[in-house]
């Protein structure tokens, strides 16, 4: 998609469709005559996501004007702008618009707003139907160009950054939507290698023999039930001039399909379990964006990837495995596999010298019960890193909620036969899962993001089709960008 930045221009910009934002109780004067009847009838109110398309409005070069309701001005955030821009772009794409322009409202035209708008429009072009025979493979139904009408310092770089993050999000979603017969653990590793090669990053893949030599018993225990071997993927970004000695690790759960193992899941809805590698996909996409944006902090992407299957060699409830850290783990439920592979990934990241850890995982149904599909759950052992993360998430427009991981949740994981059990019961399940991961973190500053409810849309929304959301790619990238 061609991207362009021009000075604010309502009537003179030549395009197929011009997007204007209108707030409740704050009607745009430029369209007063064209909208007078619609406003009087209550059809146009400025309500959030109210989209009104005008054809050939008088005085405008644009062939269509889309008036996008933004709701109450005081409640309009980055996340609101992202949804509104994406929903508008998807509507216009469906109407055959090739060249669109967006005029940003005063006060909502900062670099952050510009970047979010560009990102949203690019992400709005993505569809999950690439394997359909009638899919738009030649791009004939795509938006070809986007013009941002705004003035201010830093906006050129904001347009470029929005484009980079949007393309990275679409890469993440391309990977996440792959069916599990195509995206095996080694295929996921190959996608990471291809991205790294294309963007000048180093990428190492540890195979099963190497992981066995190192002692990654927690990960290998999960992988042993599948005919598909597991892997550990390490992607490295090093800045030309680092701002500090910090070395950030972003770690993503990469279970390419999760049957639950011997503790098998119900058949209903199991087809969705291809999404259990959305954390890993977000790491791959984030590392691409980081390579192109060149932040001043070293970043290591770590992806533990397995398939959790109930084969004849699968681990059983009651088995005890020895993790890379040396701690022993009693397997009480083989469907609590994500925390096991993260335990070895976190230990390995620490061994590589990473000083700050952020992991993302579709980890627990309990977080969906707690927060629904609207916010990701965030757990941390370090207030400073937690503050950085929450600020990055807000800047990215990804909603997060801080959850507890107190010592009481660790008590739920006690077992007679090993150092720790891999589950702690139904009550407080998201927090006890976080407490399990914290056991392998030690004193290293750490944030755990449970994206089980936000990584995938079960139903299409105006701003996004059914499928992967790419959360928390934006937060990963903003955290690296804003690191000082």
2 carries an active-site annotation: no
Q: Is 162 helix (H, G, I), strand (E, B) or coil?
A: helix
Q: Is the peptide bond before 472 cis (omega within 30 degrees of 0)?
A: yes
The separation between CA 168 and the C-alpha centre of its own chain, rounded to angstroms, equals 10
Residue among 265, 327, 394, 461 flagged as catalytic: 265
Q: How many Å apart are CA 132 and CA 356, to the nearest integer?
A: 42
265 is an active site residue:
yes
3-state class percentages of the chain: helix first, strand second, coil last, to nearest 5: 40, 20, 40
Q: What is the CA radius of gyration of the chain?
A: 23
HEC profile for 385-451? HHHHHHHHHHHHCCCEEECCCCHHHHHCCCCCCCCEECCCCCCCHHHHHHHHHHHHHCCCCEEEEEC
Please state, in angstroms and as integers, the Cα–Cα distance from residue 147 to each residue in 7, 90, 111, 259, following that order. 10, 16, 15, 46
CB-based contacts of 474: which residues, under 8 Å, 6+ apart?
119, 165, 169, 393, 396, 397, 398
Position of tokens 């119900």? 266
- Are 157 and 7 in contact, with CB atoms under 8 Å apart? no
Active site residue: 339, 350, 388, 410, which one?
339
> CB–CB of 67/35 below 8 Å?
yes
Residue 237 pairs in a beta bridge with 299
Active site residues: 265, 339
């Amino acid at each position: 998609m061609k991207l362009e930045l021009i000075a604010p221009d309502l009537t003179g910009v030549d395009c197929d469709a011009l997007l204007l934002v209108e707030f409740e109780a704050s009607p745009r004067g430029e369209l007063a005559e064209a909208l007078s009847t619609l406003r009087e009838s209550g059809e146009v109110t400025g309500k959030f996501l109210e989209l009104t398309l005008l054809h050939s409005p008088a005085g405008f070069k644009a062939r269509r004007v889309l008036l996008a309701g933004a709701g109450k001005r005081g409640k309009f955030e980055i996340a609101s702008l992202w949804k509104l821009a994406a929903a508008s772009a998807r509507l216009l794409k469906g109407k055959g618009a090739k060249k669109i322009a967006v005029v940003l409202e005063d006060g909502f035209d900062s670099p952050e707003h510009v970047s979010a708008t560009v990102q949203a429009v690019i992400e709005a072009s993505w569809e999950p139907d690439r394997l359909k025979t009638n899919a738009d493979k030649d791009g004939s139904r795509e938006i070809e160009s986007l013009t941002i009408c705004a003035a201010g310092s830093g906006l050129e770089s904001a347009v470029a950054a929005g484009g980079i993050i949007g393309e990275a999000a679409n890469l993440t979603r391309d990977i996440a939507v792959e069916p599990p017969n195509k995206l095996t653990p080694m295929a996921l590793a190959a996608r990471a290698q291809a991205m790294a090669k294309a963007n000048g990053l180093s990428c190492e893949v540890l195979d099963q023999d190497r992981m066995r030599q190192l002692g990654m018993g927690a990960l290998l225990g999960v992988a042993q039930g599948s005919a598909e071997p597991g892997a550990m993927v390490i992607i490295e970004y090093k800045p030309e001039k680092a701002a500090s000695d910090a070395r950030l690790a972003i770690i993503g759960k990469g279970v390419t399909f999760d049957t639950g193992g011997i503790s098998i899941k119900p058949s209903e809805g199991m087809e969705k379990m291809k999404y259990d590698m959305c954390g890993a996909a977000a790491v791959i996409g984030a590392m691409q964006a980081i390579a192109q944006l060149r932040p001043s902090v070293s970043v290591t992407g770590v992806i533990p990837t397995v398939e959790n299957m109930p084969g004849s060699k699968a681990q059983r409830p009651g088995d005890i495995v020895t993790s890379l850290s040396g701690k022993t783990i009693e397997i009480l439920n083989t469907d609590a596999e994500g925390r096991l592979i993260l335990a070895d990934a976190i230990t390995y990241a620490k061994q590589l010298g990473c000083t700050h850890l952020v992991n993302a995982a579709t980890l627990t149904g309990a977080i969906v019960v707690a927060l629904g599909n609207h916010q990701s759950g965030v757990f941390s052992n370090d207030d400073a890193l937690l503050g950085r993360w929450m600020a990055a998430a807000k800047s990215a427009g990804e909603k997060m909620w801080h959850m507890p991981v107190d010592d009481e949740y660790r008590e739920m994981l006690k077992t007679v036969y090993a150092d720790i059990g891999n589950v702690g019961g139904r009550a407080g399940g998201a927090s006890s899962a976080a407490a399990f991961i914290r056991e392998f973190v030690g004193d290293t500053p750490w944030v755990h993001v449970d994206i089980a409810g936000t990584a995938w849309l079960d139903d299409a929304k105006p701003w996004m089709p059914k499928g992967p959301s790419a959360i928390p790619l934006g937060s990963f990238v903003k955290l690296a960008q804003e690191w000082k």
